[in-house]
Structure 1
Amino acid sequence: MNKEKLWTKEFISISVVNFFLMLSMYLLLVTMATYATEEYNASSSTAGLVASIFILGALTGRFFAGKQMERMGSRKILLGGTLLFIIVTLFYFLPTNVYGLIAIRFFHGIGIGFATTATGTIAAHVIPSTRSGEGIGYFSLSAVLSTAVGPLIGIALINSIGYSSIFVFTLAMGIVSFLIALPIKAPKIKYKTSSDNKGFKLSNYFEPKALPISIVMLAGAFAYSGILSFIAAYAKEINLVQAGGFYFFVYAIIILISRPFTGRLMDLKGGNSVVYPGLVLFAIGMLVLSQAQSSIIFLVAAAIIGLGYGNFQSSTQAIAIKVTPPHRMGLANSTYFIFLELGLGLGPFILGIMVPLIGYGGLYLSMVALIILVIPLYYILHGKNDKEIFLTE
């Protein structure tokens, strides 16, 4: 049987646009707190707000993007979001104060929220339904790789040139993304219009069918947020600073190697075939990380977590799209990422309270219990019905 074509011009282009936008996002996330401290003499809490307010902006953008795509189409939302991203980037070059910087970060996040919700929706539409797991797996690599490459580029630019260089680089990425996005042809979807859509209704902003798997992702992202926020501090505490610098590189490489296989497995056997092993590996990797005393063990933990959480994340995204009618895919994407980013955003605040009490090692050990609890949560909300969705087409 001939496979439907996956690597079309549109799929490649939208993946590249997503990579460039997310690259800029993570580059700024890891550098803005230090920038606010050094350039504006901001306190540590204010500097943290400068970095994290971007996530709140992205959530705001995603909240409205899903609904607006039904009216305007995903291509217009992509171009509009990217254009807003470019315009707001210009304001980084203007003299301001820390409060102005916070406002810039918020609106910058809105631009990213609009644009990346659209990229995910367009990708979902151009991927053949018979290869959705594989396709979403490859597409999500653009985001995964950006988490490894972005921080490396940001730190290198600051050390070699200065803070202005990260804004120049971000502006360049925005312009290139806009130019690549211009010729992309997003599939035209017939959206259902109804009088029920008028007024404020949660179903106009969230996709109910995607909510169960999004709740599962919220719990998983909450556990993973402890790594995003505290892995550098943990590496320093256990005297493995050099290994800490390679954590996300190893994490990304393992996902890059495994994603083609896990994507095909999901298309053949269903979401359970990847999600259950992914959660088990995620828990094992977190356990190994909590006990790490050498660089080898530390990086082995990174590899296991990449194999576990990395594939769990892409699989849940594919599930959110699979359970949703084509005309609601925009809302499904925004729903999914709102819950994912809520987990990543709320996690550091809540987990940060635990650090003085149990330490970083104790924090990661406690996350093993949370991840184990996610397994029955997944079964209840989706896993028990997975075969009916994936294997009865």
Structure 2
Amino acid sequence: MRNPTDPPAPSPGPDGAATGRERRALVSLCLLTLLSSLGASSANVGLPTLARSFGASFQDVQWIVLAYLLAITCLIVGAGRLGDRLGRRRLLLGGVAVFTAASLLCGVAPTLGLLIAARAVQGMGAAVMMALTIAMIGDSVPKARTGRAMGLLGTMSAIGTALGPSAGGALLAVAGWPALFLVNAPLGVLAWVLARGSLPADQPRSPGQRPAFDVAGTLLLALTLAAYALAMTIGRTDFGSTGVGLLLAAAVGLGLFLRVEARAKAPLVTLALFRDRAFRASLAANALVSTVMMATLVVGPFFLSRSLGLSEALVGLVLASGPVASAFSGVPAGRLVDRFGADRMVSAGLVLAVVGAVALALLPGWLGVAGYVAAIALLTPGYQLFQAANNTAVMMDVPPDRRGVTSGLLTLSRNLGLVSGASVMGAVFALATGDVASAGPEAVANGMRISFLVAGGLVVLAWLCFSAKQRRIV
């Protein structure tokens, strides 16, 4: 039931201007997006220090990152559905509390095993935050400003990705590895307070009005996604029997999940949703474009260091151009979506991304670092425009009781694209380059060209998926 002290649902200001409560709600959602992004990006820089501190191998400490990402991937759809059932604001506040408490546990963990476990719990909180921040846009912002709100969230995610390694490095130098996690605690408290005071209250429901929660479907989907994600991460460098077994387990799990959902009275995911071509196309395009974006992080460092001969510091600086371009293009992208419409801007974003991918295949070989940065300056804004428009197109007309699970599916498709991209685009690069360990500058440059020509083809495929869709979301 609604608490009398909870903030009411927002109403538009005069002449459609944003109200103070709407602005505060956006600030809180932006901080939540920043926190979940920082949680993923800041820990990477500390892996060598953590390996020394715990006397562990690099393969072991990688689970500090994997545990967080796997928890998000496995739980994000269930978190969205649970928000629809219990109330999105209520569950979001609980997710922030879990994330904050787990951050404290990470900072004081005495062993690597406990740190990995705490990171998994932190990922659970982040799954709730990532699933419900997009869903809360529909509760907090009028439809006329949905695009710019989506663009703003994209900007904050990019800032978190760019800020994580640099801020993490500074914290390591000043306060040691616990600071990488403890810094999230005060930020989490601030985010909780802002969200508590600004996000619109959940609509009161009696227990009988709440949809049932599909426990069996949720567990099956989580196990299926875990098997797939592990196959794409563990099997990335040596895809042997373990990787094949995990993929087979994922395939069997998917079949069982579809069977359970078809028979469930209150399914986690309504399968009729996937009969809508518009929704299928949006998810497929989201995954394909995310696969391409991951190629910049997998292939780019090899090209910059092995073909152009840049030092590690310069490689990091050049790679930062992508998140910086995202940070500056997110809000303008959202404004374009509100002005010209989501469908038109999805197409525009995909066209710009194709041009950027082809430019990455050609310009760096001709112009060196300047060509790489120029191509990124095309690809990344195209991705931001696509994301803002695609998220808006999907979420604009979704009924309130499906916003959480729909947001979870949208975020899941992006995460699966990123996970798959690390493996698939890495394999394309390896095949095009030959023996990556001993390849010379020309071979690496050839691998770069072929990888991003393939990436351009994937974006064209995403455009074909989107252009063939029906425009109605059921």
> In the TM superposition, what is the alpha-carbon distance from 1:327 to its structure 2 partner?
2.2
Q: Deviations over 1:301-342 (max 9, x none)?
A: 221122112222222222221242222111111111111111
CA RMSD of aligned residues (A): 3.0
Look up the equivalent residue of 2:114 and give its one-letter code: G
Worse-superposed segment, 291-300 or 201-210 = 201-210
2:435 is the alignment partner of 1:365: no
Give the counterpart of 2:373 among 279, 289, 299: 299
Aligned partners of 1:66 and 1:334 also within 8 Å: yes
Q: Deviations over 1:41-62 (max 9, x none)?
A: 4334333333222111112331
The 1:92–1:135 alpha-carbon spacing in structure 2 relative to 1, beyond 3 Å, is closer
Whole-angstrom distance in 1 between the partners of 2:430 and 2:464: 34
> In the TM superposition, what is the alpha-carbon distance from 1:88 to its structure 2 partner?
1.5
User: Which residue is 2:16 aligned to?
Assistant: 3
Whole-angstrom distance in 1 between the partners of 2:334 and 2:291: 24
Aligned partners of 1:197 and 1:204 also within 8 Å: yes
User: Which residue is 1:289 aligned to?
Assistant: 360
User: Which residue is 2:347 aligned to?
Assistant: 276
User: Which residue is 2:400 aligned to?
Assistant: 326
Aligned partners of 1:189 and 1:326 also within 8 Å: no
Give the counterpart of 2:71 among 45, 48, 57: 57
Worse-superposed segment, 254-263 or 150-159 = 254-263
Q: Deviations over 1:145-191 (max 9, x none)?
A: 11111222112222344212212222232222223222133253588
2:185 is the alignment partner of 1:164: no
> In the TM superposition, what is the alpha-carbon distance from 1:127 to its structure 2 partner?
1.6
Whole-angstrom distance in 1 between the partners of 2:372 and 2:384: 17
Worse-superposed segment, 137-146 or 35-44 = 35-44
> In the TM superposition, what is the alpha-carbon distance from 1:142 to its structure 2 partner?
1.4
Aligned partners of 1:280 and 1:372 also within 8 Å: no
Whole-angstrom distance in 1 between the partners of 2:183 and 2:398: 37
User: Which residue is 2:122 aligned to?
Assistant: 108
TM-score by length of 2: 0.72
User: Which residue is 1:86 aligned to?
Assistant: 100
> In the TM superposition, what is the alpha-carbon distance from 1:343 to its structure 2 partner?
1.3
The 1:372–1:323 alpha-carbon spacing in structure 2 relative to 1, beyond 3 Å, is farther
User: Which residue is 1:251 aligned to?
Assistant: 322
Aligned partners of 1:283 and 1:368 also within 8 Å: no
Look up the equivalent residue of 1:276 and give its one-letter code: S
TM-score by length of 1: 0.86
Whole-angstrom distance in 2 between the partners of 1:345 and 1:354: 15
Worse-superposed segment, 172-181 or 252-261 = 252-261
> In the TM superposition, what is the alpha-carbon distance from 1:248 to its structure 2 partner?
5.2
Unaligned ranges ≥5, structure 1: none
- For 2:16, what is the secondary structure of its paired residue? coil
Worse-superposed segment, 376-385 or 5-14 = 376-385
User: Which residue is 1:43 aligned to?
Assistant: 57
Whole-angstrom distance in 2 between the partners of 1:155 and 1:52: 20
Give the counterpart of 1:225 among 275, 291, 294: 294
Q: Counterparts in 2 of 1:333-348, with a 5 A limit?
A: 333-348=407-422
User: Aligned pair count?
Assistant: 387
- For 1:182, what is the secondary structure of its paired residue? helix
Worse-superposed segment, 161-170 or 73-82 = 161-170
Worse-superposed segment, 178-187 or 91-100 = 91-100
Q: Deviations over 1:56-115 (max 9, x none)?
A: 111233122111112211111111111111221222234544333332222211110012
Larger Rg: 2
Look up the equivalent residue of 1:12 and give its one-letter code: V
User: Which residue is 1:349 aligned to?
Assistant: 423
Worse-superposed segment, 371-380 or 198-207 = 198-207
Whole-angstrom distance in 2 between the partners of 1:180 and 1:128: 20
Unaligned ranges ≥5, structure 2: 1-13, 218-260, 434-443
The 1:96–1:322 alpha-carbon spacing in structure 2 relative to 1, beyond 3 Å, is same
Whole-angstrom distance in 1 between the partners of 2:387 and 2:95: 24
Worse-superposed segment, 75-84 or 179-188 = 179-188
User: Which residue is 2:252 aligned to?
Assistant: none
The 1:169–1:230 alpha-carbon spacing in structure 2 relative to 1, beyond 3 Å, is farther
- For 1:385, what is the secondary structure of its paired residue? coil
User: Which residue is 1:19 aligned to?
Assistant: 34
2:268 is the alignment partner of 1:205: yes
> In the TM superposition, what is the alpha-carbon distance from 1:120 to its structure 2 partner?
1.9
User: Which residue is 1:239 aligned to?
Assistant: 309
User: Which residue is 2:390 aligned to?
Assistant: 316
Look up the equivalent residue of 1:205 and give its one-letter code: L
The 1:105–1:116 alpha-carbon spacing in structure 2 relative to 1, beyond 3 Å, is same
Aligned partners of 1:10 and 1:126 also within 8 Å: yes
